[in-house]
A and B are shown apart, each in its own frame.
Chain A
Amino acid sequence: MTIPAKLAWPALAVVALLLVLAPVDLTGIGIPYPGLKRYGTYIMTLWLVTAIAAMGVNLIVGYAGLETLAQAAFLGIGAYTTALMVKAGLPFGLAFAASGAAAFVVGIALGFPALRVRKHYLAFVTLAFSVLAWLVFRNEQWLTGGVMGLPDISRPSLFGISLRRHVNFYWFVLAITAALTFVLWWIVRSPWGRAFMALRENPIRAESLGIDVRLYTLLAFAIGSAYGGMAGSLYAPLVEFIDPNPFALGPSLLFMLMVVVGGVGRFAGPFVGAAVAVLLPEWLRFAEGFYLLIYAALVMAMMAFCPTGILGLVERLLAPRRRTQADPKASLLGEAKP
C-alpha cells in the first residue's frame, strides 16, 4: 500500500479509535460531533458484517484466483444456524463457531468435486448451490420458517452486559471484525498466503514446487466460505429477523461485484467495497429502485477503466507521476486457457 510501513500502526490505531467512537456523542468533551444515531449505528454494523463476508470472497477471488457465486448462501447457512441454535437456547458463542464450521464443511464438500475438473467449474457449482440453498431456505418451513422467516432472534449478552442496544452490539461486532481481520491478515502473510498467491499466478509451476494446488485451492475456498458463515452468524442477531431473500443468488453476485469494486486482492478492498455496497442505497435514496441499475453501470465502467477497483484508482491518483505502465495486476487476474 501507499502508506509507509512506519506509519502503518499509528494509522491503524487512528482508524480503530474513530470506529470505536463513531456512535458516541462527543459534544460533552468539546468536540462538535453528535455521534451516530440509532440508524447510523445499524448501518455501520451492517457494513462490518458485510465486510467480513467480503473478506472471505477476497481471499477466494483476489488471493487464490477463483470465482465464487455463493457467498450469500454461506451467509444464509450461518444466519439460519445461529438463529436456530440461539432460539433453542444455546449460547451465541457456540452458534457462532458452528456457523463458521458449517460453512467451512459445506465449502469443502462443494469445492472438492468442482476443483477436480476445472477452475471455472467452481463458479457454476457455486451458482447452482446458491439456488439450491435458497430453495431449501424457502421450502423447509418446519426448519426455516419458509418465506415467513424466523422472527425475534435475540442478541447475545457478553459478561452480563446485554447487547440489545445498537451501540453495544456495534462494539461487539467491531471487536469480532477486528479479530477476524487479524486472522485473515495472518493467513495471507503466512506461507499459506504465499501458496494461495502462487496458485493464482502460476498453478502449474506451484504444483511442481510441491504446493498441493488442489488442497490449497480447496482451503482458500473453504476458509473464505467460513467467513461468509461467520458474517451470517452476526447478521441474524443484527437484523433480528431473517427470511430467504438476502441469501439468494442476486446478493451472492453483488458480493463478487463488491470485492472487485473495492480492489480485488488488496487487503483493505473488502472494507471499501462493502462501504460502497451498504452506503450506495442510502446515498441514492432519491433514485429509489434505480440504484442497482446505477451501481451495475458504475461497475461496468470501472471494469473498463480501472479493473483494480477503488483502491487501485486511489493509488494511481496518489502516484500520478510514476511512469505509466501496463498494470501488472491486471494481467495476473487472467489465467491460462483450460
Chain B
Amino acid sequence: MTAVLEVRDVAKSFGGVHAVQGVSFDVHEGEILGIIGPNGSGKSTLFNCILGQLTPTRGEVRVDGKSVTGLRPSELNRLGISRTFQLLQVFPQLTVRENLILAGQEHQGSRLGRLFGARDAGLGAAADRMIAFFRLGHLAQESAGGLSYGQQKLLDAAMAFMAGPRLVLLDEPAGGVNLTMLASLKERLQAINSETRATFVVIEHNMEFVMSLCSRIIVLAEGKIIAEGTPDAVRRDPLVIEAYLGH
C-alpha cells in the first residue's frame, strides 16, 4: 500500500506554547483514519498545519510522496485535498446548489475559460447528483443560511467531495449533529469511501462515531501521539484511558 499522506515530525508552537510536538504518521489509500484526543491535545492545530492554514514550526507534510509543506490552502485543494471545518462553514447567502458548484468550480478547466464558459462551470449535473446522494434534494434552491444545523453539516461534507478529492480531512463532522442525522452522515461517508476509494482523516470527539467509522485510530495527547492501532486496541490501551480520565 502506498501512503497518500505522510506527516513527518510536524511541530507547531505559538509563542512559548508547544501545541504540536513532532508528530509523524502515514495514511494509506482508501483508509479512514481517526485522530482522537482530549481537548487541547493539538488535533486542530495539527490539521491546520497539514492543510496550510498554519505554517508548521518544523517538519514536513507529503502528499503522494511530494512535499506540500508551506503550500497555501487553495493550492493544496487543487492537488486533491479537501476538508471540512469544526465550525460550520457554508456560504449562507448562496443556495445549496450554488454552494456545491462553488466547491467544485476551481477544478474545472482554466480560470479564463470559466469566465467565458457556462454559468455552472459544467458542474450542474454533478451538483444535482451530490444533492441527491446527501439527500438534500428538497433544499437545492434554498439559501444555505436557512438550513438546519444538521443539514448544513451534510452540505459542508458534500462540498468537500464536489471536486472528487483523493484525500479528505474532516474536522469533527459529528459535532452538534443529532442521532438520526449522525447515522445518515456516517453511512454516506462510508458509501463515498467504498465508492471512490477516497482517503479520509477524521478528527472526532464522538467515540462511538469514530470507532465505528474508522479502520485505524491515532490518539493525541499534549501534542504527541500516545497510541495508534485498531479501534479495539486503542479502546483497551491504558495510556489512552489515563489521558482521557486525567492525571
**A residues engaging B (CB < 8 A)?**
187, 189-192, 194-195, 197-198, 201-202, 204-213, 328-329, 332
Instruction: Check B115 against A192 for contact (C-beta < 8 Å).
Output: yes
Q: Which of A191, A205, A328 contacts B114 (CB 8 A)?
A: A191
Given contacts A194-B105, A201-B92, A201-B93, contact A210 B74 (CB under 8 A): yes
Instruction: State whether B92 touches A332 (Cβ < 8 A).
Output: yes
A190→B114 contact, CB < 8 A: yes
Least CB distance from B52 to A in Å reads: 9
Q: Can you give 23 contacting A-B residue pairs, CB < 8 Å?
A: A187-B115, A190-B114, A190-B115, A191-B105, A191-B114, A194-B102, A195-B102, A197-B91, A197-B93, A198-B94, A201-B92, A205-B85, A205-B91, A207-B72, A207-B73, A207-B74, A208-B53, A208-B89, A209-B102, A210-B74, A210-B107, A211-B102, A328-B143
- For B93, give its contact among A187, A189, A328 (CB under 8 Å): A328
B83 touches A208 (CB 8 A): yes
Contacts of B98 in A (CB 8 A): 194
Q: Could you tell me the distance in whole angstroms from the C-beta of A64 to the nearest C-beta in chain B?
A: 14
If the complex has contacts A204-B89, A211-B74, are A191 and B163 also in contact, measured as CB distance less than 8 A? no
User: What residue in chain A is nearest B116 (Cβ atoms)?
Assistant: A190
Contact B119 A211 (CB under 8 A): no
Shortest CB distance B82–A (Å): 8
Hey, which chain A residues are within 8 Å of B115, CB to CB?
A: 187, 190-192
Q: Complex: how many Å from CA A242 to CA B24? A: 66
Chain B residue numbers with a CB within 8 Å of A195 are: 102, 105-106
Q: Given A191-B121, A192-B115 in contact, is the A209-B106 Cβ separation under 8 Å?
A: yes
* Contact indicator A210/B72 (Cβ below 8 Å): no
Q: How many A-B residue pairs have CB under 8 A?
A: 92
| Interface SS of chain A | helix
Residues of chain A with a CB closer than 8 A to B94's CB: 194, 197-198, 201
Residues of A within 8 A of B101 (CB): 191, 194
Chain B interface size, under 10 / 10 to 19 / 20 to 34 / 35 or more: 35 or more
Residues from chain B with a CB closer than 8 A to the CB of A191 are 101-102, 105, 108, 114-115, 117, 119, 121
By beta carbon, the residue of chain A nearest B112 is A192
Give B residues with C-beta under 8 Å from A.
51, 53, 72-75, 77-78, 82-83, 85, 89-94, 98, 101-103, 105-108, 111, 114-117, 119, 121, 143, 145, 159, 163
Q: Which 9 A-B pairs have the closest CB atoms?
A: A210-B106, A210-B77, A205-B89, A191-B114, A207-B73, A191-B105, A191-B121, A201-B91, A210-B78
For residue B53, which residues in chain A have a CB less than 8 angstroms away from its CB? 204, 208
Alpha-carbon distance A189/B119, docked complex (angstroms): 7
Whether A328 contacts B78 by the Cβ 8 Å rule is: no
CB–CB A210/B89 < 8 A: no
Chain A residues whose CB sits within 8 angstroms of the CB of B85 once the complex forms: 204-205, 208
Cβ contact of A211, chosen from B83, B106, B121, cutoff 8 A? B106
Q: Which of A190, A201, A205, A206 contacts B119 (CB 8 A)?
A: A190
Bound together, the chains give a CA A187 to CA B117 distance in angstroms of 11
* Contact in complex: B91, A202 (CB < 8 Å): yes
Set B77, B102, B111: member contacting A198, Cβ < 8 A: B102
B216 to A: closest C-beta gap in Å: 25
Contact A212 B74, CB 8 Å, known A190-B119, A332-B93: yes
Set of chain A residues within 8 Å of B93, measured between Cβ atoms: 197, 201, 328-329, 332
Contacts of B107 in A (CB 8 A): 210
Residues on B with C-beta less than 8 A from A189 are 119
Question: A328 contacts B121, CB within 8 Å?
Answer: no
Residues in B neighbouring A187, C-beta threshold 8 A: 115
Residue of A nearest to B108 (CB): A191
Q: How far is the CA of A202 from the CA of B116 in the complex (A)?
A: 25
B101 to chain A, nearest CB (A): 7
Residue numbers in B under 8 Å from A192 (CB-CB): 111, 114-115
